[in-house]
Structure 1
Amino acid sequence: MDELVDILDEQGNRTGKTCLKSKAHQKGLLHPTIHVWLYTPDGRVLIQQRGRHKDTHPLLWDVSVAGHIGAGEDVKTAAVREVAEEVGYSVNKDDLEPIGTFKAIHKIADNFIDAELHHIFLCKLNTSVQNLTKQESEVEDLDIIPLFKFAEETWGLANSAKYVPHGPTYYKTIVKEIKKRI
């Protein structure tokens, strides 16, 4: 779905300009997104397999929930919306624990540069994966795996080709922050 997004400056501040997400990707304009990592108190993390028809990284495993922040939309409001849309799980703003931002720029093709500022949140998952409902157009599959296995596969690089290439620093941050909370 194409939607209006805010354009950010190099420091991540809104410039007052907006454009369609497709145009931001075409021109490599920095824009905001959310990443929500859902984890269980017993040390497991929910991962999603990206849909087979996604423009970027189809069928790779990724963050529990990710999405674009609409133009003028509050960051936490976008996160709550995306969690409900992508995995059918209801959370409120107070459930979201912000752990920082991460700038990612990936050149997918000559006319597709994904320049995003990810606002990253952690959120406890208080239900089983069987109770979640994946958004068919966005999500191919869901899995819940032990944090130790997730760490091995991402920043341990045992199976890094399975995942969206956010890089070891990104994944180490996620693992360390979840580990502090379990």
Structure 2
Amino acid sequence: MDEYIDILNEVGEPNGTTCLKSEAHKKGFFHASAHIWIFNNKKEVLIQKRASNKDTFPNLWDVSVAGHISADEKPIISAIREVQEEIGLSIKQHNLYYIGTSKKRIEHNKDLIDYELHYIYMCKINFYVNSLKIQEEEVAEVNLISIQNLINLVHSNESNFVPHGKSYFKMVFDAIKQY
């Protein structure tokens, strides 16, 4: 879905302009997204397989929920909205724990440059996977995986996981282990 998003300056603050997400990706404009890592009391992490029609990393496993932050939207509000939209789970601000940001630029092709600042949140909550209602345009399937199996999967040479980078995953895995 195309939506209006804020364009950011080099330090990650809105620069006063907005554009459609498709234009930001076409021109490589710096913009923001929210990443939400959801796990339960047993430290089983919810991961999602991206839909086959996605422009970036189709059919790869990824963070529990992720999405662009709409224009004039606070990152935490975006996180709550995206969790509801993508997997049908209702959460509140007190369910989210902010752990930091990660900056990433990937040139998929000349017309798709994804330059993002990820606001990363943890969400420790008990839920039933079978009760989730996935948004089929975004998500092909979801699965629960132990934190150790997730670490092994991400570090595998044959990983079918979105490559967020070593420092990103270290921040996430350390936070889940400590939470």
Which TM-score bucket, shorter chain as reference? over 0.9
TM-score by length of 1: 0.96
1:2 correspondence with 2:2 = yes
Q: Tell me, yes or no, if the aligned pair for 1:38 and 1:124 is still in contact at 8 Å.
A: yes
2:117 and 2:88 map into 1 onto residues whose CA distance is 24
2:158 and 2:2 map into 1 onto residues whose CA distance is 30
1:91 and 1:133 map into 2 onto residues whose CA distance is 14
Partner residue of 2:173?
175
Partner residue of 1:15?
15
1:161 correspondence with 2:155 = no
TM-score by length of 2: 0.97
Provide the alpha-carbon RMSD of the alignment: 0.9
**Aligned partner of 2:100: which letter?**
G
Partner residue of 1:76?
76
Q: Secondary structure of the residue that 1:79 maps to in structure 2?
A: helix
Q: Which residues of 2 match residues 80-159 of structure 1 at below 5 A? A: 80-154=80-154, 157-159=155-157
2:157 and 2:83 map into 1 onto residues whose CA distance is 26
What is the Cα deviation at residue 32 of structure 1? 0.7
Partner residue of 2:63?
63
Partner residue of 1:33?
33
2:120 and 2:87 map into 1 onto residues whose CA distance is 17
What is the Cα deviation at residue 159 of structure 1? 4.9
What is the Cα deviation at residue 43 of structure 1? 1.2
What is the Cα deviation at residue 168 of structure 1? 1.7
Gaps of 5+ in 2: none
Change (3 A) 1:113 1:89: same
- The alignment of Structure 1 onto Structure 2 pairs a total of residues equal to 179
What is the Cα deviation at residue 125 of structure 1? 2.7
Q: Secondary structure of the residue that 1:116 maps to in structure 2?
A: strand
Q: Tell me, yes or no, if the aligned pair for 1:86 and 1:134 is still in contact at 8 Å.
A: yes
2:17 and 2:144 map into 1 onto residues whose CA distance is 39
What is the Cα deviation at residue 161 of structure 1? 2.8
For residues 50-105 of structure 1, the C-alpha deviation after alignment (integer angstroms, 9 at most, x for no partner) is 00000000000000000001000111111100000001100011111000000011
For residues 108-155 of structure 1, the C-alpha deviation after alignment (integer angstroms, 9 at most, x for no partner) is 10111000100000001311211111111100000000000101111x
1:41 and 1:104 map into 2 onto residues whose CA distance is 30
1:37 and 1:106 map into 2 onto residues whose CA distance is 21
Q: Which deviates more, 100-109 or 160-169?
A: 160-169
Q: Secondary structure of the residue that 1:120 maps to in structure 2?
A: strand
What is the Cα deviation at residue 160 of structure 1? 5.2
Q: Tell me, yes or no, if the aligned pair for 1:60 and 1:164 is still in contact at 8 Å.
A: yes
